[in-house]
Copies of this chain bind each other. A is one copy, B any other.
């Protein structure tokens, strides 16, 4: 019942599993029962061999000549990603971004209910965002302990980000999603993933600029969406 995966799953694969999961879930909702690696690859925007190799790390859950059974694969990926139970999150920072994240219904629906939002700013405390009341940052340890939170979201200005991370770690958090454009230092054993919006734009800027530098002839065709 509890088959442990055959091999350690490569990081690159872990990052793609949630993509497959979303596609499979949608296909399942549409009544699709089986999906081939070819079709799944197309929907995920990747190569079919990659899909097969990725899924092979979970075990041999496909059927030759048929494809993968959607509902079973959904179950297996969820189990592998630890999504068979909820992971409450706590958000530090009730500014623009913290509010948007808290109000974002998608999180709760996908198994990441917002257990709390905290801020230092007295004026923000007590207001309710997305059904959650903003509390004082000093309440962080209690929120984490009471709701068994292990994931924290840093949505504070850059200058406050390291302090926010330190507080999360002290409160017992072991995974951090960091929206501040800052490299956080955390103890070994704490996982950090960062989302840096300006950085993404700067990367796009690079490719735009390269395009401009090339002075390529713009093909007048191909305006509609294609692969």
| Residues of the B chain whose Cβ atoms lie less than 8 Å from the Cβ of A145 | none
| Residues of the B chain whose Cβ atoms lie less than 8 Å from the Cβ of A176 | 204
Task: Give Cα A41–Cα B224 distance, bound, in whole angstroms.
Answer: 44
Report how many copies the assembly holds.
2
| Residues of the B chain whose Cβ atoms lie less than 8 Å from the Cβ of A83 | 202, 205
Task: Give Cα A223–Cα B99 distance, bound, in whole angstroms.
Answer: 29
Q: Is A31 part of the contact surface with B, judged by Cβ < 8 Å?
A: no
B97 touches A188 (CB 8 A): no
Q: Is A177 part of the contact surface with B, judged by Cβ < 8 Å?
A: yes
A207 touches B191 (CB 8 A): yes
Residue in B closest to A45 when the chains form the complex, CB atoms? B183
Residue in B closest to A179 when the chains form the complex, CB atoms? B197
Q: Is A96 part of the contact surface with B, judged by Cβ < 8 Å?
A: yes
A209 touches B106 (CB 8 A): no
Contact of A204 among B106, B177, B196, B212 (CB under 8 A): B177
Task: Give Cα A51–Cα B162 distance, bound, in whole angstroms.
Answer: 23
Q: Mark A60-88, 1 if CB is under 8 A from B, else 0.
A: 00000000000000000000111100010
Q: Is A37 part of the contact surface with B, judged by Cβ < 8 Å?
A: no
| Also in contact, A170 and B223, with CB within 8 A (given A183-B19, A201-B89) | yes
Residue in B closest to A181 when the chains form the complex, CB atoms? B22
Q: Is A134 part of the contact surface with B, judged by Cβ < 8 Å?
A: no
Q: Is A112 part of the contact surface with B, judged by Cβ < 8 Å?
A: yes
| Residues of the B chain whose Cβ atoms lie less than 8 Å from the Cβ of A207 | 175, 191
Interchain residue pairs with CB less than 8 A apart (28):
A14-B203, A15-B203, A17-B202, A18-B196, A18-B198, A45-B185, A80-B206, A82-B205, A82-B206, A82-B210, A87-B205, A87-B208, A101-B197, A107-B198, A107-B201, A110-B201, A110-B202, A151-B201, A170-B223, A175-B204, A177-B201, A185-B227, A186-B226, A187-B222, A187-B226, A188-B222, A191-B207, A195-B200
User: A: which residues have CB within 8 A of B?
Assistant: 14-15, 17-19, 21-23, 43-45, 80-83, 87, 89, 96-97, 99-101, 103-104, 106-107, 110-112, 150-151, 162, 165-166, 169-170, 174-177, 181, 183-189, 191, 193, 195-212, 218-219, 222-227
